[in-house]
Amino acid sequence: MIKVSPSILSADFANLARDIEKIASADYVHVDVMDGLFVPNITIGIPVVKAIRPTTALPLDVHLMIERPVRYVEQFCDAGADIVTCHVEADSDENTREALAKIHARGKRAGVVIKPKTPAEAVLPFLGDCDIVLVMTVEPGFGGQSFMADMMPKVAQLRRWIDERGLGCELEVDGGVSLKTRDACVEAGANVLVAGSAVYGADDIPGRIAALRG
């Protein structure tokens, strides 16, 4: 089954609880954390994750676009994150491994993320320790960008490795996912679709979530 993880980066930050209620039929709530260093934008931090936690029963899928995420993963878990993903480009392999271990020690799901220019191979050292792998289909930093279809071979490669190894790992795509691009993602083997503008830009949000799920 395909899961939909709407990104609240496209929600109205003055009405986050209301806008999270609008996506109650989704599978996860995607929370984009940016530090102005790893990406040229600053968004949501730990206090906001804590504030939205009681507003929804859905798992919070927290995408950390921050330098050296190992410094903060435990705080995001304690604030109420259910899934925490860290970019492999944001620290050494050793520290990324430590970040995954810290997330797991908190009883939460952990994963790694790769930017468009990062090859699928960069995930391999962590694949056995991941509950989820996230492939960026735009350069991280902003919502509303165009989908990079040339990332699909990378998604397909990761799907092959996950299946060959019999791993229960989820495979998520993020950036420019819409009704037009979701089929390519699913055909390549993604099972979790992040969508910001495609969900919050819809007149019928539950209808759009259902259509993305397919």
- Positions in the binding site for ligand DX5 (CB under 6 A): 7, 9-10, 30, 32, 63, 138, 140-141, 143-145, 174-177, 194-198
In the complex, minimum distance from the CB of residue 8 to ligand DX5, in angstroms, rounded to a whole number: 8
Residues 3, 22, 63, 108: which binds Zn ion (CB under 5 A)?
Answer: 63
Closest residue to ligand DX5: CB criterion: 196
In the complex, minimum distance from the CB of residue 7 to ligand DX5, in angstroms, rounded to a whole number: 3
What is the spatial distance between Cα 27 and Cα 213, in angstroms, rounded to a whole number? 10
What is the spatial distance between Cα 214 and Cα 207, in angstroms, rounded to a whole number? 11
Q: Considering beta carbons, is residue 59 or 94 the nearer one to Zn ion?
A: 59
How far, rounded to the nearest angstrom, does the alpha carbon of residue 186 sit from its chain's CA centroid?
Answer: 16
Contacts of residue 200, defined as CB under 8 A and 6 or more positions apart, other chains included, come to 6, 10, 11, 19, 22
For 199, the enclosing helix (H) or strand (E) is helix 197-200
Residues 19, 27, 32, 131: which binds Zn ion (CB under 5 A)?
Answer: 32
Length of the chain: 214
Q: Are residues 69 and 101 in contact, defined by beta-carbon separation less than 8 angstroms?
A: no
Q: Considering beta carbons, is residue 145 or 167 the nearer one to ligand DX5?
A: 145
Q: Considering beta carbons, is residue 19 or 32 the nearer one to Zn ion?
A: 32
The answer to whether 174 is a known catalytic residue is yes
Which of 32, 35, 91, 131 is catalytic? The answer is: 32
| 106, HSE (Cβ side, Cα atoms, 13 Å) | 21
Q: Which does 198 bind (CB under 5 to 8 A by kind): Zn ion, ligand DX5, none?
A: ligand DX5
Q: Are residues 62 and 85 in contact, defined by beta-carbon separation less than 8 angstroms?
A: yes
Residue 172 within binding range of Zn ion, rule CB under 5 A: no
User: Total number of residues binding Zn ion (CB under 5 A)?
Assistant: 3
In the complex, minimum distance from the CB of residue 23 to Zn ion, in angstroms, rounded to a whole number: 14
The answer to whether 82 is a known catalytic residue is no
| Per-position DSSP letters for 133-146, written without gaps between them | EEEESS-TT-SSPP
Binding mask 142-171 for Zn ion (x = CB under 5 A): ------------------------------
Give 72's DSSP letter. Answer: T
What is the spatial distance between Cα 45 and Cα 62, in angstroms, rounded to a whole number? 10
> Which residues pair with residue 64 across a beta bridge?
33, 86
Catalytic positions, please?
A: 32, 174
